[in-house]
Amino acid sequence: MKNTTWQQIQPGQIVKFTYKSMEQPKGESRIVLVIDPKYRYRKKSTGRIVEFVVGLQLDTLLRPPIDIRNFNKLISNFGGLTLDEGVIEVGNNPDKANENTAEDIYKLLERFLKKNDVFRTYFLRECRKRRVFLLDSYQNFPKKAKDNLQLKRRIDETIKKIGELS
């Protein structure tokens, strides 16, 4: 777990932060798979632009975590695990989210999200009030996905070694 800032969060990363929603008297610790770290929305009533963190809530302090089978389906729908600068990410997402990233991922996962109530948006202004941690290893990753990631890592290292010998 690494301390980081909200500006450095990228789509596909798993983060842990404390968030206080409007109806809660106290903040609650959450583990979230980030889809879009800075989703901009123009309010219809005032025309003001509001920024959100869009993600899939994997675990909270008060509710049980997402089921392992469902999490495995989620990872396979995203495209598996990848390693980016020493951090495990879910899927092959671009480092910066564009305007349609959240909508595209929602359409991709629509059937999954109807069965599992994990899609959440958080006010970025409220999120910035507290620290955010980047989880470099999440204990609930399915074993098969971890093994595939290790195999990919070994293949990449072997390719590098062969390239250096040439």
Tens of each residue's pLDDT in the chain, 166 residues: 788 999 999 888 889 999 988 888 888 999 998 988 998 999 999 999 999 999 988 888 777 777 777 777 777 777 777 766 666 677 766 666 666 677 777 787 888 888 888 889 999 999 999 999 988 766 556 566 666 666 666 777 787 777 777 6
Q: Residue 149: how many CB atoms within 10 A of its CB?
A: 17
Q: Which helix (H) or strand (E) holds 50?
A: strand 49-60
| Cβ atoms of residues 54 and 35 within 8 Å | yes
Q: Specify the pLDDT at position 45.
A: 94
Q: Which pTM was predicted?
A: 0.76
Bridge partners of residue 56, in order along the sequence? 33, 119
| Cβ atoms of residues 133 and 4 within 8 Å | yes
Terminal-to-terminal C-alpha distance of the chain: 38
Q: Which of 117, 140, 125 is nearest to 57 (CA)?
A: 117
Q: Residue 85: how many CB atoms within 10 A of its CB?
A: 7
User: What residues make up the domain containing 142?
Assistant: 2-165
Who's near 114: CB < 8 A, 6+ residues apart?
none
Q: At what angle do helices 143-165 and 68-78 cross, to 10 degrees?
A: 40
Domain total of the chain: 1
Please list, residue by residue across 11-32, b when 16 or more beta carbons sit within 10 angstroms of its beta carbon and e when fewer do.
bbbbbbbbbeeeeeeeeeebbb
